[in-house]
Chain A
Amino acid sequence: MSNNSGLVSLQRSVKQLRFEADIRRIKVSQAATELKSFCLQNAHKDPLLMGVPSSDNPFRPPKSCALF
């Protein structure tokens, strides 16, 4: 009995491996370039990256006005 369930599990695992071995892949150089492009294109919209003026960020206390 235990042989059978081990067999079934192994059959499933082999089927899964066959599926995964066959998928289409691209080169890391291409994938990495696209990840980099995405970062750089969206950098200006990233508040935590660029920092936003205190007055625009609801979590940062606005700087108080100093009257000279």
Chain B
Amino acid sequence: MAAQPSDTLATLKTESETLKTKLEEERAKLHDVELHQVAEKTEALGQFVMKTRRTLKGHGNKVLCLDWCKDKRRIVSSSQDGKVIVWDAFTTNKEHAVTMPCTWVMACAYAPSGCAVACGGLDNKCSVYPLSLDKNENLAAKKKSVAMHTNYLSACCFTNSDMQILTSSGDGTCALWDVESGQMLQSFHGHAADVLCLDLAPSETGNTFVSGGCDKKSCVWDMRTGQCVQSFETHESDINSVRYYPSGDAFASGSDDATCRLYDLRADREVAIYSKESIIFGASSVDFSLSGRLLFGGYNDYTINVWDVLKGTRVSILFGHENRVSTLRVSPDGTAFCSGSWDHTLRIWA
């Protein structure tokens, strides 16, 4: 006798519910303590004096994304006005500027070699521009289209070489591309809505990356197989930013639910929430200091909150931007961090 489709659907639904409960139970069994309890005896952090040391002015509209070059001094940033600018953060000089054929360039990334930048947004693509030493050369002429999505590009990053790029998109997928041929090497399906952010695991940790999306989920992916290996669903709204803890054993996320959270990959659960009743606007962007002790969060209320990752408390609040902070990255050597804002500027803090 042929199985009724409705029976199979019902059986699967029951199994799905059973498995979800089992997953929660397994995670709960190992939840014997909170992170901040383990850190109770750790010395509290003192007062922090962090100020704006440089302001990078030049974008004509909202700054949406930024990335540091490995040389610790150059920064690439992209804006709603379609411009992508490469800055020397020490001198504040603009070294290169490219005008994209679309507005809302939501993603940009520096190549590990420092010789190229990748960017994209409403054009649904990720393009790579080799950076020329000749200031007069038209960068747009050498542009290479690498990734093609069916909706906006939300984030991109090179893997450990200039040869591959990882992208995330409003079409709900992430993908890995070969820069030279433009071929898709792997695709990552599993999010139920727009994917807004991604971060590559530190190289020692192996071939994985984490993504976050409008489905309130963050997913850890195996880059070789395309499989989602872990997923977390504790945020109450869109996840705007994900960033690995420096050891690679955990990651932080920032969300429109006004919280940042820390997830430990080996315990397979959320281990800390960074929130305050007074913080009611979404966190757009997060990054760790070099040791992982500090978590910097850029928020839609124009501020940057600095959190003690271990104790769960806020250690500092930084004012300066005159509109939403949309992007934030710590420099490769940890001496400073850069924030980009809807106020058209970037600020370097140290």
Contact residues in A for B294 (Cβ distance below 8 Å):
46, 48-49
From B50, B267, B333, contact of A31 by CB (8 A): B267
User: In which size bucket is the chain A interface?
Assistant: 35 or more
The segment from B22-30, B113-121, B131-139, B142-150 that touches chain A is B22-30
- B23: contacting residue among A21, A33, A38, A40, CB under 8 A: A21
Asked if A6 and B9 sit within 8 Å, CB to CB, the answer is yes
Q: Does A32 contact B19, Cβ atoms closer than 8 Å?
A: no
Which residue of A7, A30, A57 is within 8 Å of B12 (Cβ)?
Answer: A7
By the criterion CB–CB under 8 Å, are B32 and A29 in contact?
A: yes
Q: B230 contacts the other chain (Cβ, under 8 Å)?
A: yes
Contacts of A63 in B (CB 8 A): none
Indicate if the CB atoms of A57 and B310 lie closer than 8 Å.
no
Query: In this complex, which of A14, A19, A57 has the most chain B Cβ atoms within 10 angstroms of its Cβ?
Result: A14
B276 at the interface (CB under 8 A from A): no
Binds A, one of B170-178, B193-201, B246-254: B246-254
- Shortest C-beta distance, B68 to chain A (Å), equals 12
Judge whether A67 is part of the interface by a CB distance below 8 angstroms.
no
Contact A29 B33 (CB under 8 A): yes
Contacts A17-B23, A35-B35, A59-B336; is A45 near B249 (CB within 8 Å)?
no
B contact residues vs A (CB 8 Å cutoff): 5-6, 8-9, 12-13, 15-16, 19-20, 22-23, 26-27, 30-35, 37-39, 42, 45, 49-50, 53-54, 73, 89-90, 190, 227-231, 245-247, 249-250, 264, 266-269, 271, 289-294, 309-310, 330, 333-337, 348, 350
Which residues of chain B are within 8 angstroms of A21 by Cβ–Cβ distance? 19, 22-23, 26
Contact of B293 among A19, A28, A43 (CB under 8 A): A43
A25 vs B12: C-alpha distance when bound (angstroms): 26
- A27-B348 CB under 8 A given contacts A10-B9, A36-B38: no
Contact A17 B20 (CB under 8 A): yes
A40 partner residues in chain B, CB cutoff 8 A: 42
> Does B190 contact A16, Cβ atoms closer than 8 Å?
yes
Q: Is the interface of A mostly helix, strand, loop or mixed?
A: helix
Docked-complex contact A48 and B334, CB < 8 angstroms: yes
A36 vs B43: C-alpha distance when bound (angstroms)? 11
8 contacts between A and B (CB under 8 A): A16-B190, A25-B266, A26-B267, A28-B35, A35-B264, A35-B271, A46-B289, A57-B336
Residues of A within 8 A of B (CB): 3-4, 6-7, 10-11, 13-14, 16-21, 23, 25-36, 38-43, 45-49, 51-52, 57-61
Instruction: Select from chain B the residue with minimum beta-carbon distance to A54.
Output: B350
Residue from the list A10, A14, A42, A60 in contact with B291, Cβ < 8 A: A42
Are B249 and A25 within 8 A (Cβ)? no
Contacting pair B266 A31 (CB below 8 A): yes
Contact of A42 with B271 in the complex, beta carbons under 8 Å: no
The complex places the Cα of A41 from the Cα of B73 at a distance, in Å, of 26
Give the Cβ gap from B260 to chain A, nearest Cβ, in Å: 15
Contact A20 B230 (CB under 8 A): yes
A48–B50 CB distance below 8 A = yes
Q: Are A29 and B38 interface neighbours, CB within 8 A? A: yes
8 other A-B residue contacts (CB within 8 Å) besides A26-B30, A35-B309, A36-B38: A7-B8, A28-B32, A30-B267, A31-B264, A35-B264, A38-B292, A48-B294, A51-B49
